[in-house]
Amino acid sequence: MEAITPAVSVSELRTLLHSLTQYAPDVSIRYRMKGDLWYPNFLKIVNCDEGKPVLLRDDKRNKLIVLSDVVSISEFELSGRFYHFDANERYHVLEEEYVSSY
């Protein structure tokens, strides 16, 4: 039997990232960009303000990563449980045909 990968929309991912910075700063994220391999480490979310790039910190490599847009993320996983998101569960990010510019 084949396992089903849970899926979220891009807007749900943006909301999740913002919520993590506010309510669960100890939960980190690991992601895979479209066409790339998984980033090797979990990253702390430093900043995720509306309309601005997402700023992540890799403590193992001692560097900051700037994601200009989360639309490029195809999959992600969290280091800990947060609401209905389970730790180390891979979530697929659905492509949205129409992205609002509000």
pLDDT tens, residue by residue, 42-59: 999 999 888 889 999 999
Domain, as residue range, for 48? 7-94
Q: Does residue 1 lie in a domain region?
A: no
pLDDT band for position 3 (50/70/90)? low
pTM beyond 0.85: no
Domain for residue 13, yes or no? yes
Task: Give how many domains the chain has, as a whole number.
Answer: 1
Residue 101 has pLDDT above 50, yes or no: no
The answer to whether residue 102 sits within a structural domain is: no
Looking at the domain assignment, is residue 69 inside a domain?
A: yes
Burial classification of residue 85, based on how many CB atoms lie within 10 Å of its CB (0-12 exposed, 13-18 middle, 19 or more buried): buried
For residue 101, is it within any domain? Answer: no
Asked if residue 43 belongs to a domain, the reply is yes
Has residue 74 got a pLDDT over 90? yes
Q: Is residue 46 part of a domain?
A: yes
| Mean pLDDT on 87-99 | 80
Nearest to 45 by CA among 71, 75, 67: 67
